């Protein structure tokens, strides 16, 4: 599973667009940390994502509670961050973006297990950046075939899912 959230968001249109993208890409939940009250005037969430998935609003970083085993992944333009195209996405992750006109707070960045950046010439719109991260997760963890190396070549078929055999556990005495 994965979730996506934002710290210090102030624009309702960005939160609405992020919610809609989260719904489209199959997020398990969405969250905000320290959001401005005006951000909750959702008029741009045309998919009504908040009806379909949980949306958590935490007033501060201290209130942030993620499921056990969930890795917090900060998305930020930092020298220490991994480039998104080569980042191995955790199976259980909550991605968090910084505010529209700023960056993740140092406290939140320090709490993240991973930091990633989108290799772009300059900062992107918050909702756009969130959609790119979710697409990259889908692309890298989905069972999609490799891209063809030549123009006009056929892409290989999507690999069928194979269920592994049951694992037997020994009882410890």
DSSP per-residue string spanning 97-123:
E--TTS---HHHHHH-SEEEE---SSP
CB neighbour burial string for 98-118, b if at least 16 within 10 angstroms, e if fewer: bbbeebbbeebbeebebbbbb
Report the pLDDT averaged over residues 70-86: 94
pLDDT band at 155 (very low <50, low <70, confident <90, very high): confident
| Measured distance CA(64)–CA(56) in Å, rounded | 9
CA separation for the pair 4, 104 (Å, rounded) = 14
Distance of alpha carbon 93 from alpha carbon 80, whole angstroms: 19
pLDDT of residue 86: 95
Render pLDDT for 119-151 as a digit per residue (tens, 0 to 9). Answer: 999 989 999 999 999 999 999 998 777 777 888
Instruction: Name the residue with higher pLDDT: 47 or 28.
Output: 28
Task: Using the predicted structure, report yes or no on whether residue 156 has a pLDDT greater than 80.
Answer: no
Confidence of residue 45 (pLDDT cuts 50, 70, 90): low
pLDDT surpassing 70 at residue 18: yes
Q: Which percentage of the chain shows pLDDT scores above 90? A: 58
């Amino acid at each position: 599973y994965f979730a996506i959230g934002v710290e210090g968001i102030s624009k309702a249109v960005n939160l609405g667009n992020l919610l809609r993208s989260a719904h489209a890409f199959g997020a398990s939940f969405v969250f905000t940390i320290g959001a401005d009250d005006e951000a909750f005037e959702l008029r741009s969430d045309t998919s009504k994502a908040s009806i379909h998935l949980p949306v958590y609003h935490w007033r501060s970083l201290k209130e942030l509670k993620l499921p056990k085993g969930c890795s917090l992944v900060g998305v930020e333009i930092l020298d220490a961050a991994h480039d998104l195209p080569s980042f191995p996405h955790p199976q259980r992750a909550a991605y968090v973006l910084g505010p529209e006109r700023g960056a993740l707070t140092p406290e939140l960045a320090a709490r993240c297990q991973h930091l990633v950046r989108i290799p772009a010439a300059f900062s992107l719109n918050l909702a756009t950046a969130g959609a790119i991260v979710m697409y990259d997760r889908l692309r890298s963890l989905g069972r999609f075939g490799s891209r063809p190396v030549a123009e006009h070549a056929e892409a290989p078929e999507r690999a069928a899912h194979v269920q592994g055999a049951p694992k037997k556990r020994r009882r410890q005495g």
